[in-house]
Structure 1
């Protein structure tokens, strides 16, 4: 229920408002009444009403001062001003303090209930906006995880894995009520942008992702996921064809592939599959070119990045470990100390001297 507070120094004035208002119809209930501005402020902070209906002329702190204080302290409360004086200055002040309306005594029941209906509608709209904003933020966070998984499946040329993830995406959006067109559009834009990045990183044409859409992809979560799955599948086919018809293995591309994914649980089998060669051939040619095996190369990348990030004192060592691909910070400490001969904390302290 929407909480309402009445403010009037005359009890009969509050009685009239209480009697004329169709409170249940508007989903409202009166939770407090005050006789002056000071009492109203105290009760407002205690009861947290969403709507305040106040007279302007009262002893002590009058309606003008009350509106100023409410506007300063509790700006989200909806205020309805009632006065027995057709005073332009009062009306000006009510508007300045963003009051919902200014009603004159004697109160017309129709006008009062029309204002209450507007208050209820305004609060409902504000709540929906907050809900959508919360949902947007939640989905942006969940998309971060989904992006990482999609990126891995794409780079592994795992078509079935990609399609499975888009099925999961549709199910998750449906179950969480994320089927609003504006949110679906945001999800589509975020994942298309990532797909462009994946294509460009593999020296493939990305302009096709800017093609016209007919709007059907915004009709439901399933449609949005199906649209994205089709775009990713098309792009994956381009990458597969590119890799298949290369005459020889390009070790620079392999190295770039690894450097872009050093923090992921990358394996020799995964890289070999992505470049359509055997793991034995890849291991042999990589070591001949760079003088170390792929596992040692990835370790070197992780350690150099970790050392670089440790110079930023704002980053906790646990965060540095995670950024470098180590979920277990204790294991990260052991690997780091074995590689550099000193612990991460010692290296950080040494950089400060």
Structure 2
């Protein structure tokens, strides 16, 4: 997978880039985020991203200095500049340090993905002697339908559901003729990267996230899926042990889980299963500790994030609703107005955001 680092001091700009980028289709993943050039350079050393998307005006080390440092240290790394200022001087700096593209805020999704595709093509062209970075689009498309299912089953500690999904995937790979070793390696890599994301989101160590495997794992679609499923099973066993055998419920972990999954349909039933307590106990303990119900806390998370995104007038309110976890825009309008006493569009016009 092609690793991407996003650098911008405005969190909602980073959120927009993450939301608009067609990452799976392009065979890319968000490796990290930074809010200034200094942090970005440190992350670049640790993560070794292939692409850096950076703002130009930031406190401390700005985008100009960052591009200069990266260009000297990592000449093969690709850069895409995003700036809110149509400034010729910035454009000159971007060209001097061989930025692939220069995008103006508000970011246009088509322009962003065109720039990312250009980066990908240049990376592939620069490495003809190595294994190509290009991915089989049909496999990525197939896996895209399974990843949300596996993510949901993992977060709910539903091993049976995950195993059933893996069995279905193995059969579909076989029927579709996606059985070449290079195809199966892509399947393994994409699903193991998803596992790495899931273990990190659940504050789990990296014991089951190694991506090294032998040729036996690529002998057939069944062998590949079985290998990947075993890594998921191992991670789930450790997560269950971590949650189930604690002396008492850690409410900070519950709150952290909600902060990471607020865009998903999180329910009290799901949280109770995930943390091995009764619904009644979890509900009472959370309200006693934080002075509000789980439902109210989840609503607060979504509304505050939506309000933050509304500050950027370039984001359509429909997109704000979707990013906050509401597919029904009309329902989002009602909930938002009830929470803040003003409709999203009115808040944006009034400048209260």
* Aligned equivalent of 1:65: none
Please report how far the alpha carbon of residue 195 of structure 1 lies from its aligned counterpart in structure 2 after TM superposition.
1.4
User: For 2:148 and 2:240, how far apart are their aligned partners in 1?
Assistant: 20
* Aligned equivalent of 2:92: none
TM-score (structure 2 length as normaliser): 0.58
Indicate whether 1:343 and 2:333 are aligned.
no
RCO comparison, higher one (Cα < 8 Å, 6+)? 2
Distance 1:188 1:203, change over 3 A: same
Q: Deviations over 1:62-94 (max 9, x none)?
A: xxxxxxxxxxxxxxxxxxxxxxxxxxxxxxxxx
User: For 2:162 and 2:212, how far apart are their aligned partners in 1?
Assistant: 23
Distance 1:172 1:311, change over 3 A: farther
Preserved contact between residue 174 and residue 221 of structure 1 (Cα < 8 Å): yes
Preserved contact between residue 305 and residue 324 of structure 2 (Cα < 8 Å): yes
User: For 1:325 and 1:267, how far apart are their aligned partners in 2?
Assistant: 13
* Aligned equivalent of 2:235: 235
* Aligned equivalent of 2:301: 301
Preserved contact between residue 336 and residue 342 of structure 1 (Cα < 8 Å): yes
Q: Give aligned pairs, total.
A: 222
Distance 1:187 1:309, change over 3 A: farther
Indicate whether 1:316 and 2:324 are aligned.
no
User: For 1:228 and 1:154, how far apart are their aligned partners in 2?
Assistant: 13
User: For 2:320 and 2:165, how far apart are their aligned partners in 1?
Assistant: 28
Residue ranges of structure 1 left out of the alignment (5+ in a row): 1-131
Residue ranges of structure 2 left out of the alignment (5+ in a row): 1-131
Please report how far the alpha carbon of residue 344 of structure 1 lies from its aligned counterpart in structure 2 after TM superposition.
1.6
Distance 1:254 1:301, change over 3 A: same
Q: Deviations over 1:165-205 (max 9, x none)?
A: 11222233334443332232122112212212322333333
Secondary structure at the aligned position of 1:204 is classed as coil
User: For 1:187 and 1:247, how far apart are their aligned partners in 2?
Assistant: 39
Preserved contact between residue 306 and residue 320 of structure 2 (Cα < 8 Å): yes
| Alignment root-mean-square deviation, CA | 2.4
Please report how far the alpha carbon of residue 233 of structure 1 lies from its aligned counterpart in structure 2 after TM superposition.
0.6
